[in-house]
């Protein structure tokens, strides 16, 4: 019987949903992600699999996981896990990126619409009987006809492209790898260099993993290339944007606005300057989290574990040996 240790920061109700989909012959024990390392070390010694949300374990705990065949992440992010140490220890790692693509893509579109249609402001004005104070026709916008630059054309970026195509947007992308020609044809999307994409786009949306190469990918120089009417959306990782640079740019309306689901520090200090800006829409890192996502995530989690238990490689692999 495979033994799984599940370290999580999730609401217990969410954990119960994930456990409902586990195969009957899997033994799973659940512990808080902030359990102290001494306790974690005692728990992982005889585990076959580790399930993590978020993907964070210290080196001492990893070294104690001597029988672990796979670390499976509930989410897509892997920037807090020492993959090189996992490689040295012979532990495979798999994430869960593709399963939340629809959720994050829909949230991306929601952020675009939220800023473009000023939904938060309009709600406040409607509730306080100030119907005539907002100059609607001068301050709201449509997606149709706009050029959207997608930075990162992975699972999520591709789904964003599909949704925005339905709104009548023109699509361009930047990625370290060129997409297959058939995918570019399907999405009606073309690849540009980063600077050209920033100069061309009415909306720029970020969908890259956090790595040393993408940390502060969007800084002061990159923001200076964007149109003054442009909108910046981030649903990947806060550290991909230099927040000091973004704050200063937004304060003087050098770009039109931003929709952010992620920040460099989460939760932010209550006095964080971005929180006081009216041209920013912020949500608390929830783009990939919907009730509907847990079934999809569970399927890939237990499929990966079953595959590894039977001697095969996992799907959605970050690190194979």
Residue 178: CB partners within 8 Å, gap ≥ 6?
Answer: 191
Predicted local distance difference test score (pLDDT) of residue 138: 84
Q: Which two tokens stand for residue 74?
A: 């509930």
Kindly report, as residue ranges, where domains of CATH 3.40.50.720 are found in the chain.
3-99+290-319, 101-282
Is residue 31 part of the annotated active site? The answer reads no
Torsion-angle region of 232 (φ positive above 0: left; ψ -120 to 50: alpha; else: beta):
beta
Predicted local distance difference test score (pLDDT) of residue 281: 98
Is residue 216 part of the annotated active site? The answer reads no
Can you identify the CATH homologous superfamily of domain 101-282?
Answer: NAD(P)-binding Rossmann-like Domain (3.40.50.720)
Q: Which two tokens stand for residue 221?
A: 């120089």
pLDDT of residue 31 exceeding 60: yes
pLDDT of residue 103 exceeding 60: yes
Residue 212: CB partners within 8 Å, gap ≥ 6?
Answer: none
Q: Which two tokens stand for residue 31?
A: 């512990």
Give the three-class secondary structure for 97: coil
Q: May I ask the CATH architecture of the domain 3-99+290-319?
A: 3-Layer(aba) Sandwich (3.40)
Task: Write the pLDDT tens digit of every residue in 266-321.
Answer: 999 999 999 999 999 999 999 999 999 999 999 999 999 999 999 999 987 765 55
Predicted local distance difference test score (pLDDT) of residue 102: 94
Is residue 237 part of the annotated active site? The answer reads yes
Q: Are 210 and 238 in contact (CB under 8 A)?
A: no
Predicted local distance difference test score (pLDDT) of residue 99: 85
pLDDT of residue 96 exceeding 90: no
Residue 159: CB partners within 8 Å, gap ≥ 6?
Answer: 101, 102, 104, 105
Q: Are 61 and 41 in contact (CB under 8 A)?
A: yes
**Across all residues in the chain, what is the average pLDDT?**
94
Given 20, 38, 265, 266, which residue is catalytic?
266
Instruction: Give mean pLDDT, residues 255-274.
Output: 97
Q: Are 159 and 109 in contact (CB under 8 A)?
A: no
Closest CA to 159 of 219, 99, 79, 216: 99
pTM of the model: 0.88
Predicted local distance difference test score (pLDDT) of residue 75: 86
| Distance between first and last Cα of the chain | 23
Given 237, 243, 296, 297, which residue is catalytic?
237
């Amino acid at each position: 019987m495979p033994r799984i240790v599940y370290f999580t920061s999730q609401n217990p109700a969410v954990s119960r949903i994930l456990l409902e989909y586990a195969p009957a012959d899997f033994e799973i024990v659940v512990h808080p992600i902030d359990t102290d390392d001494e306790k974690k070390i005692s728990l992982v010694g005889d585990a076959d699999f580790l399930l993590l949300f978020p993907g964070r374990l210290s080196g001492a705990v990893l070294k104690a996981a001597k029988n672990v065949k796979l670390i499976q992440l509930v989410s897509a992010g892997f920037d807090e896990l020492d993959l090189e140490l996992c490689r040295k220890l012979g532990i495979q790692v798999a994430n869960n990126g593709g399963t939340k693509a629809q959720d994050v893509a829909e949230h991306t579109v929601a952020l675009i619409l939220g800023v473009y249609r000023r939904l938060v402001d309009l709600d406040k004005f409607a509730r306080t009987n100030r119907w005539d104070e907002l100059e609607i026709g001068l301050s709201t916008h449509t997606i149709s006809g706009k050029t959207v630059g997608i930075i990162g054309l992975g699972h999520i970026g591709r789904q964003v492209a599909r949704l925005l195509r339905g709104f009548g947007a023109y699509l361009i992308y930047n990625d370290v790898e060129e997409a297959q020609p058939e995918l570019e044809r399907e999405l009606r999307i073309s690849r540009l260099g980063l600077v050209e994409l920033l100069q061309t786009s009415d909306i720029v949306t970020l969908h890259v993993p956090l790595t040393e190469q993408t940390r502060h990918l969007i800084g002061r120089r990159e923001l200076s290339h964007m149109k003054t009417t442009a909108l910046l959306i981030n649903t990947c990782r806060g550290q991909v944007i230099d927040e000091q640079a973004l704050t200063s740019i937004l304060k003087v309306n050098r770009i039109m606005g931003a929709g952010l689901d992620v920040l460099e520090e989460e939760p932010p200090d209550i006095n964080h300057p971005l929180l006081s800006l009216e041209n920013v829409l912020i949500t608390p890192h929830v783009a990939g989290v919907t009730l509907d996502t847990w079934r999809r995530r569970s399927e890939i989690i237990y499929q990966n574990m079953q595959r590894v238990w039977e001697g095969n490689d996992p799907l959605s692999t970050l690190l194979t040996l």
